[in-house]
Structure 1
Amino acid sequence: MTTVKHMKWWGWGVEGVQFEYHNKPNFAPFVKEAVDLDLEVEPADIDAPDLDRLRLPDSLISAAQLARLTELVGDAHVTTERLERVTHTYGKSIRDLLRLRDGSIARVPDVVVYPGTEAEVQQIVDLAVDQDAVLIPFGGGTNISGSLEPLPEETRPIISLDLGRMNRVLEVDEQSGLARVQAGTLGPDLEEQLGDRGWTMGHFPDSFTHSTLGGWVATRSSGMQSDKYGDIAEITRGLRVVVPRRTLVIRPLPGTSTGPSVREMILGSEGRLGVITEVTVQIHRLPTERQVLGYLFPDWQAGLAAMEEIASSDASPSVTRVSDARETGFSFATRKKGKKVSGAVSAALMKVLERKGWDLEKLCLSFIGYEGSKRHVGYEKNLVRQIVRKHGGILLGKGPGTLYDQKKFDTPYIRDFLLDRGAAADVSETAAPWSRLRDLYAGTVAAANAAYREIGVRGWIMCHLSHSEHSGACLYFTFAFRHDDNDPIGRYEVVKTAIQQAFIDNGGTLSHHHAVGREHAPWIEQDLSPAGADMLRGLFESVDPKRNLNPGKIVF
């Protein structure tokens, strides 16, 4: 069987790795206050869901189709096993995880295929079209917007096309700073292969450990360092995409004037226009200096103002992030019990700030990253220091930034921890111009709190600003509530819908970097206008008239 590794089927990340709170003395009180969940009352049993208890529909793949797929890629790379089919059914949204835990699986892929070459991908795509099957490309399975799930009413055979074997950096053009990379390459493998040659792509989304380059392109991903390196749309220079009967080739040119951008059509297309097999990306020499520093602002408004001024200044940090007071409280609550000296320093700092008139309930934690030569980093730190000071902020130093850098990919494990205890937590993110961000933030928080009142729970919503650009930035919200297994999906939909609608109503987009899928498709016409949504429908129909390529995503 294939050696491609996946996350555990019922949750985030690696089997055996889980969130631990007993070494974090402030976490249990925080959770009790936030969502009325008492962690001191542990559930009697917390066992991983039992795969054998899931009721799966029988595979619809015919013997002849299975034989042909096996002929194309080899017996070791075609499977109809239960675990493989379940693993390739959903992404990792809360809706996905709740359905898996509940056994609510209406439709699963009928077969999982692991091609090793672009030529094999072409033959599988052509087979799917000829046989009127459905083909869903699969990268790392981290998607949280419903981009992977088969339509429940689908009666045709469904092929999950896992690109995990196509995982190599093929070529580095050092003169141009370009790299040709296979689309199934996971984030860590990509950076390791580039790093061995002294390069980096600089793209580090929260899902970095378990997501692939092709998935990033297909969903228009952004990374933590996109302020400096750009999001994946800016990083992607060239593409190879298998479409029925042929291969689309976008050459990695620095700029073109060749009509509407076909490259842009593929970005964010979620498999509806073909299968991305290779991406040529912009790369950069590894920086000689890299620092992430922590700062504190007296309140959210001061933090927003500072980020806005930094974005329009001569400084170009790699990371600009500020959390609201609620997320700052969460960050403090997830700290491990420290040494006596560091604990005393923190307590002393809080007393100093209190004497200066700061309201400790309004503190906002910020992380700002710097990369480049030592001289350049020093120059940028000085520019930012002046802006931070102007807005009443203070420097905390390298310690918090180092901790953030180490733990930035671990937060999703907390979702599994909460699910085990009858609570749900998920994220939604948006973007808007600087002039709309304050209203967008306030409107979203108000909408979420109204939704919590509607479903009768004590809920939590927190936010951070990230991905700053000259004209605006991303607001990334995390929301949570206790459901006690009382219609968790129905309650989730009330809260999620309220948050998404608040984005649109207050001048934001339906998603900044988590894609559309099925989760966000109800808002596509409000976001792009009905004319824009119709244009997308026409594009998809022109390439895929029989709806063989991941149907039902982006637009219904």
Structure 2
Amino acid sequence: MTAPARPAGTVDVKHMKWWGWGVEGVGFRHEDKPAFAPFVEKAIGLDLRQAASTARPDFADLKVPDSRAPEKFVDALGEIVGDGNVVVDDMARVVHTYGKSLRDLVRVRAGEIARTPDVVVYPADEAEVRAVVDTAVDLDAVIIPFGGGSNIAGSLEPHADEDRVVVSLDLGRLRRVLDIDTDSGTARIQAGALGPDLEAQLNEAGWTLGHFPDSFTHSTLGGWVATRSSGMQSDKYGDIADIVRGLRVVRPGGVLVIRPVPSASTGPSVREMVVGSEGRLGVITEVTAQVHRLPEKRDIYAYFFKNLDHGLAAMREIAESDAAPSVTRISDANETGFSLATGKEAKGIAKAAQAGLMAFLKKRGWNLDEMCLSFIGFEGGAAHAKRQKAIVDRIVRRHHGLGVGKGPGALYDQKKFDTPYIRDFLLDRGAAGDVSETAAPWSKLRQVHAEAYRAAHDAFGRIGRRGWIMSHLSHSYHSGACLYFTFAFVFGDDPLGEYDTVKRAVQQAFIDAGGTLSHHHGVGLEHARWLEQDISPQGVTVLSGLLAAADPGGNFNPRKIVV
């Protein structure tokens, strides 16, 4: 006997809209960006004047599978967390079915929902998480931890052929900064805290985590850890693997505890095993993270380079230098054109200055179709930031770059979390816009870029669509950097088949050219097919053995990462 419908919950936990990114009423508009429509038409052949937006999907049209959760099981969960915090209604289960990849959104908008979680549970603290986990494991149920739902690697969805009861364990009520160790510069933070919430709590005390992924507004600390996330300021603060010092992870019958020591020589790192584990080793409930005093000064400056070769050489030299910027980002020529096309119309003095700059660059012999836009950030005390910028400015000049001040950087800072809305805007008009990212050594970075472009254009030819690809370097390291690619095309008769053709071509190009299958989006289901090529067959054997030994019943988010 399945559970009857229950109320949608009594607690305020924020969720994104079921059919797209972000919250209701917020979206991308192009009418105030005069260069955007011509750019899109040239890039992928989509005429925004003729392409009408599709109507918002009607939830009433969805055929949502019935919950399979036995009534006694739901009642038992209600005794643990309170009846209002156990939900089996259709909307809640659909919201917790997918992440926000293009594949996810195409399917949910088309009503393709083969399997949903059977019940959504909102525990209030670690003790309740432990009780929920033990109760679910006793039933041999599947437990899928849920943070903000922003994942784009297929790490959240239950398998269509899963016969067991599926529990979506939503950590949204665990969202407090519990303690700040001011001497050590660490903070204990509950895993369900969304980026804006945890930063607001830290900022109030004069601290920052410094971790700002694209999904910052709608993703959680636990999700960042579970998928090995990277942020826009990782050049200074590190990736999440560098930021995490301690962890608490609920497992059947107990809690795995990693104490927040600065370093340890105690065998293979269990902390590292948990980071990137995507819920397969248990439920992360608490993270002790490195935090930093709020910087006295924070500025993002914009630079132009003559072409990508000059720009990449400058980024590599900056990584080798004594400079320690917080952001080193450079867009290739295609993405630079896209960025300029998304700007609002300049007027008055700004318009004249922009025209004057372009004329000046032409006079210097620049091909404006090849120039690349870069953003470099500096944080810290005023004197420190000034020294860092002086070092970077000298490097930029050696590579024939030109600084254009803080104005464009300030605009980038304001709009840095808005890009996913553009993907939804295109999807509304029958077009795909998606991303793939990788990391590679400096010596192979240009080859990875070229091979990804070649593979994408070959794939566009195979599906018979006009396509577009662009890229930026988003994170620099001593030995290499991350390249982040975006590709787009107008759907034909087989949207997901066409998407797969392009996505697989780009991902394979990464591996073949010496890059990794993913730098910061995780593995999930989306990237699992390339894992053996990335970490070797023996690497997969070791990883499979770890997961099988740690979760012999396959209760924790099964078949993610390693199928």
Is 2:387 the partner of 1:361? no
Instruction: Using the TM superposition, give the Cα deviation of residue 42 of structure 1 relative to its aligned residue in structure 2, in angstroms.
Output: 3.6
Is 2:229 the partner of 1:196? no
Is 2:21 the partner of 1:12? yes
1:37 aligns with 46
In the comparison of the two structures, how many residue pairs are matched? 554
Deviations 1:438-491 (A, max 9, x none): 10100011000000000000000000001100000000000010014x110010
The match for 2:102 among 94, 106, 109 is 94
The match for 1:472 among 480, 487, 494 is 480
- After superposition, where does 1:220-235 map in structure 2 within 5 Å? 220-235=228-243
- Which amino acid in the other structure matches residue 486 of structure 2? T
- After superposition, where does 1:399-438 map in structure 2 within 5 Å? 399-438=407-446
Deviations 1:129-149 (A, max 9, x none): 110110000000000000001
Is 2:90 the partner of 1:82? yes
Secondary structure in structure 1 of the residue aligned to 2:284: strand
Instruction: Using the TM superposition, give the Cα deviation of residue 339 of structure 1 relative to its aligned residue in structure 2, in angstroms.
Output: 2.0
Is 2:495 the partner of 1:483? no
Deviations 1:32-55 (A, max 9, x none): 011100001142x63211111111
2:155 aligns with 147
2:507 aligns with 500
1:315 aligns with 323
Cα distance in structure 2, aligned partners of 1:163 and 1:338: 44
Secondary structure in structure 2 of the residue aligned to 1:397: coil
- Which amino acid in the other structure matches residue 507 of structure 2? Q
Per mean C-alpha deviation after superposition, the further-off stretch among 343-352 and 366-375 is 343-352
Is 2:291 the partner of 1:283? yes
Cα distance in structure 2, aligned partners of 1:316 and 1:510: 27
2:222 aligns with 214
Instruction: Using the TM superposition, give the Cα deviation of residue 366 of structure 1 relative to its aligned residue in structure 2, in angstroms.
Output: 0.1
Secondary structure in structure 2 of the residue aligned to 1:545: coil
Cα distance in structure 2, aligned partners of 1:312 and 1:511: 24
- After superposition, where does 1:154-553 map in structure 2 within 5 Å? 154-484=162-492, 486-553=493-560
Instruction: Using the TM superposition, give the Cα deviation of residue 176 of structure 1 relative to its aligned residue in structure 2, in angstroms.
Output: 0.5
Cα distance in structure 2, aligned partners of 1:429 and 1:266: 22
Secondary structure in structure 1 of the residue aligned to 2:404: strand
2:37 aligns with 28
Cα distance in structure 1, aligned partners of 2:138 and 2:542: 26
Instruction: Using the TM superposition, give the Cα deviation of residue 522 of structure 1 relative to its aligned residue in structure 2, in angstroms.
Output: 0.2
Cα distance in structure 1, aligned partners of 2:18 and 2:542: 36
- Which amino acid in the other structure matches residue 279 of structure 1? V
Cα distance in structure 1, aligned partners of 2:520 and 2:540: 18
Cα distance in structure 1, aligned partners of 2:348 and 2:423: 30
Secondary structure in structure 2 of the residue aligned to 1:58: coil
Instruction: Using the TM superposition, give the Cα deviation of residue 190 of structure 1 relative to its aligned residue in structure 2, in angstroms.
Output: 0.6
| Structure 2 unaligned blocks of 5 or more | 1-8
Secondary structure in structure 2 of the residue aligned to 1:467: strand
Cα distance in structure 1, aligned partners of 2:228 and 2:185: 21
Deviations 1:318-341 (A, max 9, x none): 000000000000000000112221
Cα distance in structure 1, aligned partners of 2:206 and 2:534: 41
Is 2:73 the partner of 1:65? yes
Secondary structure in structure 2 of the residue aligned to 1:209: helix
Secondary structure in structure 2 of the residue aligned to 1:415: helix
- Deviating above 2 A after TM superposition, structure 1's stretches of 4 or more consecutive aligned residues are none
1:55 aligns with 63
Deviations 1:322-380 (A, max 9, x none): 00000000000000112221111111110111011000100100000000000001000
Deviations 1:371-390 (A, max 9, x none): 00000010000000000000
Instruction: Using the TM superposition, give the Cα deviation of residue 493 of structure 1 relative to its aligned residue in structure 2, in angstroms.
Output: 0.3
- Which amino acid in the other structure matches residue 371 of structure 1? E
Cα distance in structure 2, aligned partners of 1:57 and 1:100: 13
Per mean C-alpha deviation after superposition, the further-off stretch among 188-197 and 126-135 is 126-135
- Which amino acid in the other structure matches residue 550 of structure 2? V
Cα distance in structure 1, aligned partners of 2:507 and 2:197: 34
Secondary structure in structure 1 of the residue aligned to 2:56: coil
| Structure 1 unaligned blocks of 5 or more | none
- Which amino acid in the other structure matches residue 517 of structure 2? L
- Which amino acid in the other structure matches residue 195 of structure 1? N
Cα distance in structure 2, aligned partners of 1:519 and 1:172: 37
Per mean C-alpha deviation after superposition, the further-off stretch among 51-60 and 511-520 is 51-60
Deviations 1:80-119 (A, max 9, x none): 1111000000000000000011111110000000000101
Secondary structure in structure 1 of the residue aligned to 2:538: helix
Secondary structure in structure 2 of the residue aligned to 1:412: helix
- Which amino acid in the other structure matches residue 326 of structure 1? N
Secondary structure in structure 1 of the residue aligned to 2:476: coil
- Which amino acid in the other structure matches residue 49 of structure 1? P
Secondary structure in structure 1 of the residue aligned to 2:536: helix
Cα distance in structure 1, aligned partners of 2:349 and 2:424: 33
- Which amino acid in the other structure matches residue 234 of structure 2? S
Secondary structure in structure 2 of the residue aligned to 1:160: strand
Cα distance in structure 2, aligned partners of 1:75 and 1:330: 49
- Which amino acid in the other structure matches residue 23 of structure 2? V
Secondary structure in structure 1 of the residue aligned to 2:218: coil
TM-score (norm 2): 0.98
Deviations 1:26-80 (A, max 9, x none): 000000011100001142x632111111111110000110100001100110101
Cα distance in structure 1, aligned partners of 2:557 and 2:177: 27
Deviations 1:211-259 (A, max 9, x none): 0000000000000000000000000000000011110000000111100
Cα distance in structure 2, aligned partners of 1:294 and 1:190: 29
Cα distance in structure 1, aligned partners of 2:427 and 2:451: 27
Instruction: Using the TM superposition, give the Cα deviation of residue 5 of structure 1 relative to its aligned residue in structure 2, in angstroms.
Output: 1.2
- Which amino acid in the other structure matches residue 49 of structure 2? E
